[in-house]
A and B are shown apart, each in its own frame.
Chain A
Amino acid sequence: MTRATSTDPRSWRGTAKHHQNQQPFRPSTYSDLFLPFSINRNMATDPIDSALDLLRRLNPKDVKKNVDHLIELNPDLTEDLLESVDIPLSVKKCSKTKRDFLCCDYNRDGDSWRSPWSNEFEPPVEEGEGVVPSERIRKMEIRANEAFDVYRELYFEGGISSVYLWDMDDGFAGCVLLKKAVSPTPKSSGSWDSIHVFDAQDRARTAHYKLTSTVILSLGTDSEALGGMDLSGNMVRQVEQDMAVDDDTSHVANIGKMVEDMELKMRNLLQEVYFGKAKDVVGDLRSIPPLSQTNRDRATQKEMISSIGR
């Protein structure tokens, strides 16, 4: 099976997720995600590559709408698009525990989503339908949900978290989801969605982890003085790591550390891109001080530097 990669070898998008077999939330061929980019590079005009390239260009705020349009235009792309494109997470309430949980393709079965708190589907699925993790993996999933609930409170001071795990032949895989929305003033708002997808391959006393993380960050203000300003998008990063494993508790700790490090890195990156790069580009388009003055200053500076050098 080939995996569509984005036309840009530097971009992780398109390799970010997995292919699925039959059961929609049980990736069985996760390992072929990490094929070297060069293998698929000459498939640039594959329609799925083009669709991913298009989504990387169009307004990221409209990603859900655009995915729907693409599916209408080319229904063959449906599965690949739903698997490879991250859209903001939706929220459901667990009727058993009354707690909110997050929905994505990984806890979905048809039109139902499994709650990490009760292990039951909302709305309920037919008797015998809806795949749940094995007993061992579910135990780990419960622990991971407790751990990331603490993580969520420490870093997000609010919001919602959900962790889903599933069995794999040589280990297990899962995703850690976090979501928070704020409106610090009536005129500004923001939302953060983290989607961390990983797999863990068991080895002797260690495990090999692969993590693909997407953060969808939307910020906006609207006021008479400033007018409308929307700063939205997503960034994707991947990392692989071997870590020591004593028992299943170590897995939760290891994944916790990887996700914590990754989010710290991504938060810094987002800060740089959203508030540094975007602002710099505006400054490249238009200069507040007159350019003749800027150019004069530069020439003077150059002269000074060359006179020092002499």
Chain B
Amino acid sequence: MSRTAALSSFVESAPPGELADVTKAIKSILGDDSSVQGDLTPAFEKYNEEQFATVKLPGGSGEVLISEYNNLGDGRYYDVESQSSFAFDHATQKSSGVQSYVLESSHSDLVKSLVKSLSIHTSEHYPKSSLGVYPTEDDSQLAIITVANKYSPSNYWNGRWRSQYIFSPSSGSLTGTIKVDVHYYEDGNVRLLTNKAINVSVGAGAGASEIVRQIANAEKRYQEDLNKAFGSLSEGAFKSLRRQLPITRQKIEWEKISGYRLGQDIGGGRSR
């Protein structure tokens, strides 16, 4: 594997909120090497667009997100709600050069009402999130994106929830994915990574509130399923890997260990 490919794979699996730490470590490992930045730049761009990196615009209030759908080229992106475009530095995740930007789309009314409905939904279910709705595929479809981050590096955990949907106004289909990424790293390294495909038929000509209602339903159902899955992994795979205590409910008497006979004294674990 080439050096660039190896470095890109590191950047790609950076946990939520830890891109700067990963970059710092990479630079230290490679020593004083000025070509690193160049090697990393394409990986940063890919990471930021796939992870829906969020950035505060100069003078703006909330954070706006970065994705392939609001990329204007030349390192500039746009935000529908604030009607502005901005330059985004993929290495530092900082914005600059804000200009006004008016969306030109045959669906601009639907985009605006989706942004409004989606904001109501996200503020009810995400303590902190950013969203975006952007025309795509030659204005034939709409990308609907939500990202919620919570970083708590002082407690050694960080998390990210990403939802991404493509709505087709002509067919009324809504397809997308929900991805959850949680990293816990106190005295270890534990990662939760999930990926759920969503496929709903909303109906052609559906309005913003109906689309958002379907998204809300899908996300609620998914979160409930995910919560259940924690329970069934704990009761299933985890329990069958290692018992908390032997079947006798007693710790081993190590002084008498040579007297234990497999399959007899120990409850027949092997004969089952």
Residues of A whose CB lies within 8 Å of any CB of B are 10-13, 45-47, 49-51, 53-62, 65-66, 69-70, 72-74, 77, 143, 146-147, 149-151, 153-158, 180, 182-185, 188-192, 217, 219, 221, 225-237, 252-254, 256-257, 260, 263-264, 267-268, 270-271, 273-275, 277-279, 281-282, 284-288, 290-292
CB<8 Å pairs between A and B, sample of 18: A58-B15, A60-B189, A61-B191, A154-B260, A154-B269, A157-B272, A184-B240, A190-B238, A217-B238, A227-B178, A229-B229, A233-B190, A234-B190, A256-B252, A278-B192, A278-B230, A284-B127, A285-B159
Q: Which residues of B contact A62 (CB under 8 A)?
A: 9, 13
Q: B194 is contacted by which of A49, A229, A236, A291 (Cβ under 8 Å)?
A: A229
| B266 x A54 contact (CB < 8 A) | no
Q: A53 is contacted by which of B21, B229, B238 (Cβ under 8 Å)?
A: B21
Query: Most chain-B CB neighbours within 10 Å: which of A11, A59, A192?
Result: A59
Query: Most chain-A CB neighbours within 10 Å: which of B1, B15, B247, B254?
Result: B254
Q: B237 is contacted by which of A58, A158, A190 (Cβ under 8 Å)?
A: A190
Q: Does B188 contact A (CB under 8 A)?
A: yes
Q: Which residues of B contact A290 (CB under 8 A)?
A: 124-125
Q: Once the chains are docked, how many angstroms separate the CA of A189 from the CA of B247?
A: 23
B62-70, B104-112, B166-174, B219-227: which lies at the interface:
B219-227
Query: Most chain-A CB neighbours within 10 Å: which of B13, B25, B124, B184?
Result: B25
Q: Which residues of A contact B222 (CB under 8 A)?
A: 227
Instruction: Give the contacts of B116-134 with A (CB-CB under 8 A).
Output: 123-127
| A54 x B10 contact (CB < 8 A) | yes
| B13 x A72 contact (CB < 8 A) | no
Please, which residue of chain B has its CB at the minimum distance from the CB of A147?
Answer: B257
Interface residues on B, range: 35 or more
| New contact pairs (17) apart from A10-B187, A59-B193, CB-CB < 8 Å | A47-B29, A50-B29, A54-B22, A54-B25, A57-B14, A74-B31, A157-B270, A185-B236, A190-B238, A192-B242, A225-B225, A229-B194, A229-B233, A230-B192, A234-B188, A254-B254, A281-B192
| B246 x A155 contact (CB < 8 A) | yes
| B189 x A57 contact (CB < 8 A) | yes
| B246 x A236 contact (CB < 8 A) | no
Q: B189 is contacted by which of A151, A230, A233 (Cβ under 8 Å)?
A: A233
Q: Once the chains are docked, how many angstroms separate the CA of A190 from the CA of B232?
A: 12
Q: Does B34 contact A (CB under 8 A)?
A: no
| B233 x A221 contact (CB < 8 A) | yes
Q: Does B55 contact A (CB under 8 A)?
A: no
Q: B244 is contacted by which of A58, A65, A226, A267 (Cβ under 8 Å)?
A: A267
Q: A286 is contacted by which of B148, B230, B237 (Cβ under 8 Å)?
A: B148
| B150 x A150 contact (CB < 8 A) | no
| A235 x B187 contact (CB < 8 A) | yes
* 6 A-B pairs closest in CB distance: A233-B190, A227-B196, A190-B237, A235-B188, A50-B28, A253-B254
Q: Which residues of B contact A285 (CB under 8 A)?
A: 126-127, 148-150, 159-161, 180
Q: Once the chains are docked, how many angstroms separate the CA of A285 from the CA of B160?
A: 7
Q: Which residues of A contact B237 (CB under 8 A)?
A: 182-184, 188-190, 219
Query: Most chain-A CB neighbours within 10 Å: which of B30, B233, B248, B258?
Result: B233
